[in-house]
Amino acid sequence: MLEKFLQTLMDGLAVGSLYALIALGYTMVYGILKFINFAHSDIFVLGAWLSYSMAIMAGLSMQSAVPVAPWIFAALGAVTVLAAVMQAWDRAGYDRVPAAWRGRLPTPGLGGTLTIVSLWGWSSVGLAFAARMIATGAAESSAWRTVAGGVILLAAMSTCGLIGFCVERTAYKPLRKAPRLNVLITAIGVSLLLQNLGQLDWMFGTRPQGMPRLLPDVTLAQFAGSETVPPVKLHLIDVVGAGTAVVLMVALDILVFRTKLGRAMRAVSYNDRNAALMGIPVDKVISFTFVLGAALAAAAGFLYAQKYPGLGQTASATWVLLGLKAFIAAVVGGIGNIRGAMLGGLLIGSAEMFARAYQSPSVADIYVFGILIVVLLFKPTGILGTNAQEKV
């Protein structure tokens, strides 16, 4: 009985660490803008599928390596050309246009944004090609396969960060002063857009796929070379996932509370207008928050795909439920609180695994939503959340 309890606890912490990584992204965005980015869970799905696509492209599966889709080069080429045109427009064209016409034309600054997107996109493609070059040694050594997996992780985080940047600039930035309901509806629309785009044949398609193993599928004892078999099996991927979640949580905590950028983020969260008056670049801080949250979601997607190699289509109910549980973890721990997101993820993951082990998998979700109801009844701000006092 003790062995079963310890094994279930380890499994709960492993799953909870993945929930915590996704919940950290929810918390980051809510802490700055005070709205729920429902498209965040779809970035997590994209992270898993992008990891799969890059692994296939690198030749790390049973089949031979496949080339990069031509539309990616066409899209990046078009963005590069448009960036060059807009840069010339920003520097020479805009000032020569009569003032009465300027309100109907693109304002200066778009060229810089497109340049960032272009360079960022080419860098992500470069990382994917680097993984392909490293993977050539995977047949001789499993260590090279793991290194290629690390590069694929960086490429997926970079690509999802770029997607988060584009979503914020195109969908959320124009609604910065709009009512909260408008932004909420837009977030749901972006979520549906990403889900349906992923099902297109030229994207990921609708067929389930199996993610290649990029990390050794061994227990920690086997990885360490131990001949004794411990009563509790702790897999290497679980240790990597939990360690990644803890490291990122600590890094985010230091970033927010110990750095100049963190002070700027907290100032924008408190009052964006006053922050702008103090010289803080509000738009850049918000964009950075979205990029950071998307990168965390991509890391969670990569680790999830390594733990559960079967990937369903992007609109699968499994993905939707995973994103919902991560959101519940953020709310239970105290949305807007980094440590609360970690605590909520571990709590929800442990509750789910214990319910599966000691009762039935069919009732596991009842306990997850039950915890949410109890927390909302007795502490609506979450376990580590604080009550915000407003003057009337």
Q: 304-316 pLDDT, tens per residue?
A: 888 888 888 888 8
Average pLDDT for residues 274-282, to the nearest whole number? Answer: 88
Evaluated on CA atoms 273, 262, 127, 298, the torsion sign reads negative
What DSSP element (H or E) covers 143? Answer: helix 142-167
- The domains located in the chain, with CATH, are 2-94+106-378 (1.10.3470)
Mutual angle of helices 40-57 and 2-33, in 10-degree steps: 110
Whether the Cβ atoms of residue 308 and residue 44 lie closer than 8 Å to each other: no
CB atoms within 10 A of CB 113: 16
Q: Residue 145: which pLDDT band, with cuts at 50, 70 and 90?
A: confident
Instruction: Report H helices in 199-337.
Output: 220-224, 236-258, 260-270, 272-277, 282-307, 317-333
Residue 298 has pLDDT above 50, yes or no: yes
Q: Alpha-carbon distance 255 to 167, whole Å?
A: 23
What DSSP element (H or E) covers 209? Answer: strand 209-210
- Of 25, 51, 46, 39, which Cα lies nearest the Cα of 314? 46
Residue 103 CB-half CA count within 13 A = 1
What DSSP element (H or E) covers 310? Answer: strand 310-311
122 Rama sector, left if φ>0, alpha if ψ -120 to 50, beta otherwise:
alpha
Higher pLDDT, 230 or 251: 251
Rounded to 5°, angle at Cα 294 from 14 and 250: 55
pLDDT tens-digit map of 239-260 = 888 888 888 888 888 988 889 9
Residue 29 has pLDDT above 50, yes or no: yes
pLDDT tens-digit map of 84-113 = 887 776 676 555 655 655 555 556 667 788
pLDDT tens-digit map of 34-84 = 888 888 889 999 999 999 988 888 877 766 667 777 888 898 999 999 888
CA distances to 328, 353, 382 from 336, rounded to whole Å, are 13, 26, 10
The burial class, CB within 10 Å (0-12 / 13-18 / 19+), for 53 is buried
205 Rama sector, left if φ>0, alpha if ψ -120 to 50, beta otherwise:
left
pLDDT tens-digit map of 107-132 = 666 778 888 889 999 998 888 888 88
Residue 267 has pLDDT above 70, yes or no: yes
Query: Which position has the token pair 């006053």?
Result: 274
Rank 3-12, 87-96, 327-336 by mean pLDDT and report only the highest.
327-336
Contacts of 205 by beta carbon, 8 Å cutoff, 6+ apart: 199, 313
